[in-house]
Amino acid sequence: MEEKNKRLAVLVGCNYPNTPNELHGCINDVLAMKDMLVKRFGFDHENIELLIDEPNTSSSTMPTGANIKKALGSMIDRAEAGDVLYFHYSGHGTRIPSMKYGHPFRHEEAIVPCDFNLITDLDFRQLVNRLPKGTSLTILSDSCHSGGLIDKEKEQIGPNSLEDKNATLKQIHITPKTIPYESILQHLSSLTNINTTDIGTHLLEFFGSEASLRFRLPLLDLDLFQPLKHDEGILLSGCQADETSADMRPNNMNGANGKAYGAFSNAVEMVLKDNIGQLSNREVVMKARDVLQGQGFVQQHPCLYCSDENADAIFLLQC
């Protein structure tokens, strides 16, 4: 009997407890998505790897940069034609100065694991390029500056492809899910005791071969990571590259079941609960935009980056 196609997921929630960068809803985000993956999208518990920084918890792996990349690499190594792969990240994001001339915003996008070992857009490009033919990797990043988190992925919904609605609602109080570049640089400098403003030097000194490809490769070699001809990377970002994503607590506004949550993760969850039929990737992002607008998040605009074909493909290929 032929084995059924696998559905594999890596879910990462970083709350950064007991630090100046503490968030509160990120672990709740990925736990809620895990439940959704199992009940609605046919994922098996055994095929979902959870990485959270919950204190006094030994049931999951800590979401360090090395552990996240290892989990993603292992998932891709297991993948075969027809498999559906999913990565959900809820936590801080940041922007680092671009090393490439003429880059939009002159910055590169990155997520911030619990140990500050940045995972950059180039790392996600390399992961997508490793996908076996006939598989897809959907990334949902509920983090600041997450637009464009897969390097060179085509923009389908974003600042250059869609005119935003006029904002008529008052912006509510939020905690942005971002750590400024200067704060990351200061933290890493305290670890290495090296007097330089080059963040790559600090990351290479402290993390060595576990640092991002963005800092380990010579500048000229970065262009080797072009998108493949048949690119199966799909990015649903919580906001545009120059925006922040919100972390919400019940005392800020009515939380999901009284719990803290990430605004984009919660919006996607609401969209999926309110629409029991199949939704395309494009529809999920557009409906999530509408939810956020209705809740008053007028400065956060989710985006979609993928091929034309995948823009209209069914989200997680729901049967």
- Residue 133: pLDDT above 60? yes
Residues 37-46: contacts with CB within 8 Å, 24+ apart? 37/7, 37/9, 37/86, 37/316, 40/272, 40/318, 41/7, 41/316, 41/318, 42/7, 42/319, 43/7, 43/8, 43/9, 43/86, 44/7
pLDDT for the residue 99 = 64
Average pLDDT for residues 163-180, to the nearest whole number?
A: 62
CA distance 89 to 73: 15
The closest alpha carbon to 137, from 179, 214, 79, belongs to 79
Q: What token pair was written down for 248?
A: 């919400």
Q: What is the mean pLDDT of the chain?
A: 88
The answer to whether residues 153 and 81 touch, using CB atoms and an 8 Å cutoff, is no
CA distance 96 to 200: 10
> Taking the alpha carbons of 267, 269, 272, 274 in that order, is the dihedral positive or negative?
negative
Q: Say if 162 falls within a structural domain.
A: yes
pLDDT for the residue 103 = 47
pLDDT for the residue 240 = 95
The DSSP code sequence of 107-157 is EEEEE--TT---EEHHHHHHHHHTPPTT-EEEEEEESTT-TT-STTPPEEE
CA distance 54 to 114: 11
Q: Say if 154 falls within a structural domain.
A: yes
CA distance 96 to 74: 27
Q: Say if 219 falls within a structural domain.
A: yes
Taking the alpha carbons at both ends of the chain, their separation in whole angstroms is: 20
Q: Say if 1 falls within a structural domain.
A: no
- Residue 293: pLDDT above 60? yes
Cβ burial, residue 118 (10 Å; 0-12/13-18/19+): buried
CA distance 319 to 108: 36
Domain total of the chain: 1
pLDDT for the residue 60 = 74
| 259 — pLDDT class (breaks 50, 70, 90) | confident
CATH of the domain at 84: 3.40.50.12660
Average pLDDT for residues 241-249, to the nearest whole number?
A: 92
> Considering the chain, what percentage of its residues have pLDDT values greater than 70?
85
- Residue 230: pLDDT above 60? no
Picking from 115-119, 247-251, 313-317, which range would have the lowest pLDDT averaged per residue? Answer: 247-251
CA distance 89 to 273: 20
Provide the annotated active-site residues: 92, 144
Instruction: State the residue for tokens 């956020």.
Output: 292
Q: Say if 2 falls within a structural domain.
A: no
Range of the domain at 48: 7-317
- Residue 3: pLDDT above 60? no
